[in-house]
Amino acid sequence: MVIETTRNGIIITDRDGNITEFNEFAEILTGSKKQDVINGPIPDAKINDFIKEVLLTGKDYEDMEFMLCPQTGQGDLVCLFDAFPILDENMQVMGAFAQFRDITERYHTEKQINYLAYHDDLTGLPNRRFFTGHIDQLLRHGVNENSIFAVMFLDLDSFKKINDTLGHNNGDALLKLVAERLKTCCHASDQLVSRMGGDEFTILLQDITDHTEAIRVAEQIIQAFEKPFAVDGYEFYITASIGIAFYPQDGTNVEMLMKNADIALYRMKDDGKNNYNVFKPNPNSGGIERLTLENSIRKALQLNEFVVYYQPQIDIMTGDIIGTEALVRWNHPTLGLIPPAKFIPIAEETGIIVPLGEWVLKTACLQNQVWREKGLAPMSVSVNLSSRQFSKHDLVETIEEILRETRMDPQYLELEITESMTMNVDVAIEVLGKLKELGIHLCIDDFGTGYSNLYYLKLFSIDRLKIDRSFVRDIMTDSNDADIVATIIAMAYKLGIDAIAEGVETKDQLDFLRSQNCHEVQGFYYHQPLPAEQLEQLLMKSAEIKTNSQR
């Protein structure tokens, strides 16, 4: 029988919930023997409750995640559980069908990717990505008009001397001890300690009533560092400097809070170290520039101040340009060329990001079509969608209209979305499904920095993963990031999904990616983002070289 050969656990019951079929894999997954359960109820109470509901209401259940604990010595198993009614010729429920799909390996791989992505390999502390993500979630869902919290930056004074004197192994041992001491000082459930990298640590103090609470914690940390650290049989002293910024007075977003805590830290180091410093705003520190940007961004689109640059994407096996990513720049009349990191957050806050995103998409499609009409080889262009664009109800219709206006072949358009945009699974399935029906390719941007659910990659019909530059940057020096990149590439390959690495700047990074069978990259090692005219010249030159080599 088919149910005996499948790798899924199958259970079939009659209308009373008594088991009539129980295959071999169900025995393995549940730890129960067929002869012990046949003609009786399902032994697992939770599963039995689902079956009763199916028999009573005719309701279906799909992809329910279960942790099974079979008494077979092989440890817990993670399964996806489906159940639905069996109907007779009169459409009456005559039994229930249930199946378990073992996803244990995938589950643990996802856990490994997420742990590596969000924790420091040396100390085990949360890393920068975890810390900033936690604050971002706090700002989105955990604050009200009366909320106050503090962000602290801590830097070890003269750590380089100790590292150079004792060696890197002992320096690493010291960092582990520092991490433990900081956790001792900040052990409350609403306090978070993380390592930024090197000898820098950050601390989040949530739900404080006033600034003195944060100052008290800073004083406790300074005092805790008065005790010596023991490394390799030696005792020695090290001090720390701390910068403190408060929400909301010193910033209402992650970037501003982190920046101002960092400024406070380095002002402290300039003033003598081994103490704390609370951020004090400098009235001339960038506020005027931001105000200028906020006031002028609303008209910038109408005044044609934005321009699209294109960064080539390379097949490292052939060296050919196989596609480009469209990247917007702002050519401000007085401030010059402004990078996206400065103006995209403002565009999102003001809502300009939606018409700007549509303009970038239309411009990129038009340019791609121009290159094709000039006889250049067809290639894809990748365009980023913002979360605001993705949540618009008419997104698909807007994209369809742009494709129609520009006469762009949909197979050469790739849309990049972030993992966080797909958190509402039902909406994501509907929207991405419609985009796929148009013939558009889909890419998860900055993969590994979100919730990294591999199951949804298949569910959403994703074509490609883009490995975030924050992982690529340190793959030669950080074993944690190297492991993450290798794991993502291997899992993408296993799922039949392409992987591309961004931010490739050195030959060593390229060689590592090649060794892991990642064949598509983009980054300064090959090309910076280029204006359309320069990229066109590059494409024509490449085509000419290829033609000459074939003669």
The answer to the question of residue 482 being in a domain is yes
Of 257, 285, 313, which residue sits at a domain end?
285
CATH code of residue 204:
3.30.70.270
Q: What is the pTM of this model?
A: 0.64
Across 162-295, where does the E strand assignment appear? 191-197, 200-205, 229-231, 234-236, 240-247, 276-278
The answer to the question of residue 32 being in a domain is yes
* 138 and 266 part of one domain: yes
The answer to the question of residue 473 being in a domain is yes
CATH code of residue 74:
3.30.450.20
**Whose structure tokens read 């365009």?**
383
* 438 and 520 part of one domain: yes
Of 51, 70, 102, which residue sits at a domain end?
102
* 149 and 224 part of one domain: yes
The answer to the question of residue 112 being in a domain is no
The answer to the question of residue 496 being in a domain is yes
Provide DSSP, 469-485: HHHHTTTTT-HHHHHHH
DSSP H helical ranges for 234-325: 254-270, 287-300
Buried b (16+ CB within 10 A) or exposed e, 324-334: bbbbbbbebee
* 256 and 324 part of one domain: no
Distance CA 21, CA 38 (A): 7
* 204 and 278 part of one domain: yes
pLDDT tens digits along 203-235: 999 989 889 999 999 999 999 999 999 988 888
* 509 and 421 part of one domain: yes
CATH code of residue 315:
3.20.20.450
Q: To the nearest whole percent, how much of the chain has pLDDT over 90? A: 55
Amino acid 443: pLDDT: 95
Structure tokens at 475: 């793959």
Rounded average pLDDT per 10-residue block, the chain, 551 residues? 67 94 86 90 86 92 78 71 92 93 85 88 94 92 85 92 81 94 91 94 93 93 93 86 94 91 88 87 61 83 94 95 96 86 83 94 97 92 93 94 96 92 84 96 79 68 90 87 90 90 96 96 95 95 75 61
- Number of domain units in the chain: 3
Of 224, 250, 285, which residue sits at a domain end?
285
Which residue type, as a one-letter code, is found at position 236? Answer: F
Reduced to 3 states (helix: H, G, I; strand: E, B; else coil), residue 109 is: helix
* 155 and 276 part of one domain: yes
Are β-strands 321-332 and 240-247 bridged in parallel, bridged antiparallel, or unpaired?
unpaired
Determine contact, residues 92/466, Cβ cutoff 8 Å. no
Buried b (16+ CB within 10 A) or exposed e, 279-304: beeeeeeeeeeeeebeebbeebbeee
* 274 and 403 part of one domain: no
The answer to the question of residue 190 being in a domain is yes
* 292 and 274 part of one domain: no
* 254 and 138 part of one domain: yes
Residue 90 CB burial class (10 angstroms; 0-12, 13-18, ≥19): exposed
Distance CA 274, CA 285 (A): 26
The answer to the question of residue 206 being in a domain is yes
Closest CA to 186 of 265, 248, 125: 125
Amino acid 254: pLDDT: 93
Q: What is the CA radius of gyration of the chain?
A: 28
* 274 and 300 part of one domain: no
pLDDT tens digits along 368-407: 999 999 999 999 999 999 988 998 899 999 999 999 999 9
pLDDT tens digits along 479-526: 888 988 998 899 888 888 999 999 999 999 999 999 999 999 999 999
The answer to the question of residue 108 being in a domain is no
Are β-strands 441-447 and 413-418 bridged in parallel, bridged antiparallel, or unpaired?
parallel
* 147 and 89 part of one domain: no
Q: Which domain holds residue 34?
A: 2-102
Structure tokens at 169: 């192994």
Amino acid 535: pLDDT: 96
Angle subtended at Cα 148 by Cα 220 and Cα 221, rounded to the nearest 5 degrees: 10
Helices (H) and strands (E) in the chain, counts: 21, 22
Across 402-547, where does the E strand assignment appear? 413-418, 441-447, 464-467, 498-501, 520-521, 530-531
